[in-house]
Amino acid sequence: MRWLELSAPVDSSDAEVVAEVLGRFAYGGVAIEEDVLWGQHEEPIPGEQRRVMVRIFLPIDTSLPKKRAALEEALARLEPKTPIELLQCEIEEQEWETAWRKHFKTLEVGRRLIIKPAWEDYKAQVGQVVIEVDPGMAFGTGLHATTRLCLLALEAYLRPRMVVLDLGTGSGILAIAAAKLGASSVLALDINPAVVTIARGNVQANGVAGTVTVDHGTVPLGTGRRFDLVAANITADVIEELSHPLACSLEPRGILIASGFAEDRLDGVGERLEQVGVKMIEVFAEDRWRAIVAQAGVF
């Protein structure tokens, strides 16, 4: 099969919102590549926006023209700081499987977490928690601001023996982090079957298959199952839509970590969660992006 690679060079402050739009149409997920428009040792001028590349892949089939038109219409409705230029090229299957790898590097997050691509070597220091990820085109490499924010919140709020739900697991990075930080069990869910396969591979590679279960689906309703901590790095619209089932999935005083949205959606998400009995207790921020920590039953 041949693939269409679509790339959008954008300001870093616009990257997540552009990625959210492109991700609606992508196969597997979105790559946000932070180093592609700067030399290895080059730094932006103080006060100048860093430029990043948002990249997706679409299969070249009969549905492509319709998807492309819908994608361009969705991008046109955005209001980025600079106009969005959409670059494209056609690639073969083998190129598609490895095209994004050269931009995924080992990354430190928070006090202890190290996110390492599967193909790089890294010598861990004492106390560091190393997470090995092969994204395979799934969202969640640690390069996204919202992923980093969720990891910071997990590091701060996860306690040993907690039972955790990772909703919209992507590459499985949050589920793996939860397991390595001491969770007793983790249920990782995603609605994309291709992503589920990728996440399962990463769980196996990190040696946490005994703790993490990866499955296809959304918030488990009607099972009576509750969680000490729920992580949902999705979008503001989905968090608001699922606010009631999310609240029902939390243990009394359970913790919700939610991200995938910008500052302008923070109040709306917080208000919607309060309506279902989950109160925002802390906000993590990076540029315009936000992750909230909310708790059930603390009014």
Q: For the segment 124-180, what is each residue's pLDDT rounded down to a tens digit? A: 999 999 999 876 655 545 567 888 999 999 999 999 999 999 999 988 999 999 999
pLDDT of residue 103: 62
Instruction: Specify the pLDDT at position 102.
Output: 64
pTM: 0.77
Q: What letter would DSSP give residue 250?
A: E
Final residue belonging to a domain, choices 102, 124, 147: 102
| Confidence at residue 216, expressed as pLDDT on a 0 to 100 scale | 94
114 and 142 share one domain: yes
DSSP 264: G
pLDDT for the residue numbered 44: 45
pLDDT given at position 96: 57
In the chain, pLDDT over 70 holds for what percent of residues? 85
Q: List the structure tokens of 245.
A: 């089932």
Q: Are residues 13 and 121 in the same domain?
A: no
Are 272 and 139 found together in one domain? yes
User: What strands, in cross-sheet order, belong to the sheet with 163-167?
Assistant: 212-216, 185-190, 163-167, 227-233, 250-262, 289-296, 278-286
Both 139 and 237 in a single domain? yes
Full domain range(s) for residue 184: 104-296
51 & 108 share domain: no
Verify that 269 and 141 share a domain, yes or no.
yes
Residues paired with 10 in a beta bridge? 52
Asked if residue 222 and residue 125 are part of one domain, the reply reads: yes
- Same domain assignment for residues 191 and 64: no
User: Is residue 33 domain-shared with residue 111, that is, in the same domain?
Assistant: no
Rounded CA gap, 98 and 142, in Å? 18
Tens of pLDDT, residue by residue over 244-291, are 999 999 999 999 999 988 898 999 999 999 999 999 999 999 988 899
Asked if residue 114 and residue 96 are part of one domain, the reply reads: no
295 has which bridge partners? 255, 279
Q: How many CB atoms lie within 10 A of CB 57?
A: 23
Cα(257)–Cα(259) distance, integer angstroms: 7
CATH number at residue 30: 3.30.70.120
User: Are residue 53 and residue 78 in the same domain, yes or no?
Assistant: yes
Of 70, 85, 102, the one marking the end of a domain is 102
User: Among residues 102, 130, 155, which one ends one of the domains?
Assistant: 102
Count the domains in the chain: 2
Q: Are residues 160 and 18 in the same domain?
A: no
Position 40 scores a pLDDT of 39
Residue 43: pLDDT over 60: no
pLDDT for 299 equals 64
Alpha-carbon span 274 to 279, nearest angstrom: 5
Q: Report residue 206's pLDDT band, with 50, 70 and 90 as the boundaries.
A: very high
Q: What is the CATH number of the domain that holds 275?
A: 3.40.50.150
